[in-house]
Amino acid sequence: MNPKLLDALECWRDWMGAENAKLGFPVKSLAMEGGSGAWGNYAEEAQQQQDVLTAKAVDAVISGIEADNRLAVHVIQLGARWPYDSPSKLENDYSMACQQIEIGLRRRNILI
């Protein structure tokens, strides 16, 4: 699997499971963080903004894929319950979902 896709799914998983969050992702402000002022955390803040953008893009793509494929992503990435007896169905649905997510992220210029 594409390592960039794995990173994008990890951003989404973190975003979906974040505590003390607004819309699923921690609210962070440079003014609230300690350090050397607003410019001291610029790179970190830019990376956090990119992670939020990536997570939202993944979420949008996932919301548009077939229900069983979407469920497989939720099972693998978020620990949701798989309602079917077949582990091979889970693997197949997850594989199909990942292909669809990768295509959707490429269309959005998230994965290059």
Tokens of 110: 């998230």
Tokens of 51: 């992670």
Q: What is the pLDDT of residue 25?
A: 41
Tens-digit pLDDT string for the chain (112 aa) = 899 999 999 999 999 986 544 444 444 433 334 445 555 577 778 888 899 999 999 999 999 999 999 999 999 999 999 999 999 999 999 999 999 999 999 999 998 7
Specify whether the CB–CB gap between 18 and 11 falls below 8 A. Answer: no
Beta bridge partners, 25, equal 22
pTM greater than 0.75 (yes/no) = yes
Rg of the chain (C-alpha set): 16
Sequence ranges of the domains in the chain: 3-15+41-107
d(CA 73, CA 94): 6
Q: What is the pLDDT of residue 38?
A: 56
* Measured torsion, CA atoms of residues 100, 106, 109, 111, in degrees rounded to the nearest 10: 100
